Structure formats: C-alpha cells, structure tokens
Structure 1
Amino acid sequence: MAEIGSYLKKHTEALVKDVGIEAACELTGKSKATLGRYYSDNSEHLDRFMPVDAVARLEQASSYPHVTSALAELKNITLSHGSPKANSERQGGVNADVIALSQRFAMLMTEYQEAIEDGIITVNEAKRLLRETVALQQVLIDMKLHLQEEST
C-alpha cells in the first residue's frame, strides 16, 4: 500500500507543478502548505491525499491528467487523452506521428543514457524521464486517434 501512496503522491506533485502552485491554490481553495502536504513523503503526511474534487479541478486546468492517469495505470487501464473531435485540428497524420514517435523515443533514450551514466538515477533524472515518458505517451495517443480517424 505504501508504494501506491508514494506513486500517487508523485503524480499529485506533477499535477500541481503542471498547473502552477499559485493557480493550484486558487483553483482548489487550498494553501501552498496544504497542497504540499498532499504530495509530501514525510511520515506525518503519508496518509494525506488530495481530495478528488480538487484533483478534478486541477486536471481540468492541466496539460495532462496526471492523477487520473496514475490511477488508471494502477488498475492496468489505458486512457485516451482528449477526444477525436478536439484533436481533429492536429497537423499531419500517421506519418507525422511516426516521425514524432521516433523523435520522442530518441529523447527518452538520451535522457535514460544520461541518467544511468553514474549508475544511479536521481530524483531529478527520474522526473525528466517521467516527463519524456508522458510526452511519448501523448504522441502515441495522437497516433491512435489518427489511426481511428483513418479507419472510419
């Protein structure tokens, strides 16, 4: 259970930082200290998690549904970000997606290579790897939507 809590706290932190701490305070009506407690890994805050309504408000303003995605991953569920109608204005098609996929994967591998050079992946390196993984995931979602559009 502790691993799940830690995983959710990391995604909660990513969500707050995606929106920005000041904006997150406004959207949730919570103080910086309270928001910080939601993703703190200090022992006195291990059982404290962000309320679902606050997550929903922040994810509406974020670039990616960090906590919802984490919950889905814990249940081994795949989510599609956005709707085909909203994404139909995207430039390119499957060919552009394949190029973007190759580029993003290369960036992820570059980050990974740099992270393991000393044999230790630091917290900051892990955060960079996570950002690249999320970006790669978004390209895959775009590709999926293009393929769905072409198959209908």
Structure 2
Amino acid sequence: MGAAANYLKKHTEALVKAVGVEAACDVTGKSKATLGRYYSDHDEHSDRFMPIDAVAALEMAAGYPHVTQALAELSGARVEFDERRANDTTRGSVNSDVIALSQRFAMLMGEYQQSIADGKITVNEAKRLLKETSLLQQVLVDMKLHLEDESV
C-alpha cells in the first residue's frame, strides 16, 4: 500500500473514531466490519476506501473534515476550516456585525499585546495572530454580505 493510501486510511480511522464506531454505523448505515475495512492496513483491504457520501456524513457528525483535509494535503491544496460556532444561527444584521467586529478586533489586540510583551513575536504567536486576523477578516466578509443584502 502506498504512502498516500496509508495516509487516507489513517485519517479515515480518525474520522470514525471521532464520531464513535457505533454512531458511525448509524450515520453511514454500514456495519462495524465494513467501516473497519475502510481503514484497515491489511493487504486484502488495501484497495477499499470509504465512499464519499459516507465521508461527508461522518465529517458533518464529527464537526471536522478529517478525510477532506487529508485529501487536500495530498493534492497540495489547502482547506480552511471555519471554527466559528455561533450560539445564534439566525441571520445577522449590520449591527450585530459591528459588535462582532469590535469583539474580534479586541481579541486580536489582546493576542498582539500578549505576543509582543517580550519584544518579539515567536512562530506560535504569529500563528495565533494570523488565526485571529483571519477570523476578523471573516467578520468583515459577513458584514459586507449583510450590507449588500440591505442595499438591494
């Protein structure tokens, strides 16, 4: 089995275990044995992979795109996972976007303050700042979309 196939099988196993084997059986309609074959590294199962509809259903249940992330990495692509988990899923407004923008900017400034306290920004601190900047950017995109909706 090639390195790519082994990599996909490991991520498939992580996906099934993230959901739980019993729950994964319920979500996909597959048996434990069938799911096990999808991530088995034995030679007789080396050509068996989970169908994409089952992957999609499990990733939705898991809340993280384990296999999709692995596929992207193998092809040189990048998947950006939106970790925002709003408590209120109703459609926002420009007013709520302004509040979210203010909060997100405050979080970015807090992260910056903590990062620059010793006079230099480490790699890990830069990664945290980049993450906060990306989340701030997403709030701005949401705000832009809401403004466009309201101007129609």
TM-score, normalising length: structure 1:
0.61
Separation in structure 1 between the aligned mates of residue 13 and residue 69 of structure 2, nearest angstrom = 13
Structure 1 segments of 4+ aligned residues over 6 angstroms from their partners: none
Aligned residue in 1 for 2:75: 75
| Residues 78-132 of structure 1: per-residue CA shift (max 9 Å, x gap) | 112238795987xx53664685xx8xx59xxxxxxxxxxxxxxxxxxxxxxxxxx
Deviation at 1:145, TM superposition (A): 2.4
Separation in structure 2 between the aligned mates of residue 11 and residue 48 of structure 1, nearest angstrom = 14
| Cα distance change on mapping 1:29 and 1:96 into 2, 3 Å | same
- 2:13 is the alignment partner of 1:13: yes
Identity %: 53
Query: Unpaired runs of 5+ in structure 2?
Result: 88-96, 116-123, 145-152
Give the SS at the match of 2:16: helix
Aligned residue in 2 for 1:121: none
Give the SS at the match of 2:64: coil
Aligned residue in 1 for 2:139: 149
Separation in structure 1 between the aligned mates of residue 37 and residue 50 of structure 2, nearest angstrom = 9
> Aligned residues, how many?
118
Separation in structure 1 between the aligned mates of residue 10 and residue 130 of structure 2, nearest angstrom = 23
Pick from 68, 92, 104 the counterpart of residue 93 of structure 1.
104
Separation in structure 2 between the aligned mates of residue 93 and residue 19 of structure 1, nearest angstrom = 30
Query: Unpaired runs of 5+ in structure 1?
Result: 107-135
Question: Is this contact kept in 1: 2:104–2:135, CA < 8 A?
Answer: no
Question: Is this contact kept in 2: 1:19–1:62, CA < 8 A?
Answer: yes
Partner AA of 1:46 in structure 2: S
Q: Which has the higher Rg, Structure 1 or Structure 2?
A: 2
| Residues 31-80 of structure 1: per-residue CA shift (max 9 Å, x gap) | 11110110011111111100111101111111210001111111111112
Aligned residue in 2 for 1:26: 26
| Cα distance change on mapping 1:146 and 1:57 into 2, 3 Å | same
| Cα distance change on mapping 1:143 and 1:27 into 2, 3 Å | farther
Deviation at 1:150, TM superposition (A): 4.9
Question: What is the 5 A alignment of 1:1-152?
Answer: 2-82=2-82, 93=104, 96=107, 99=111, 105=124, 143-150=133-140
Partner AA of 1:78 in structure 2: R
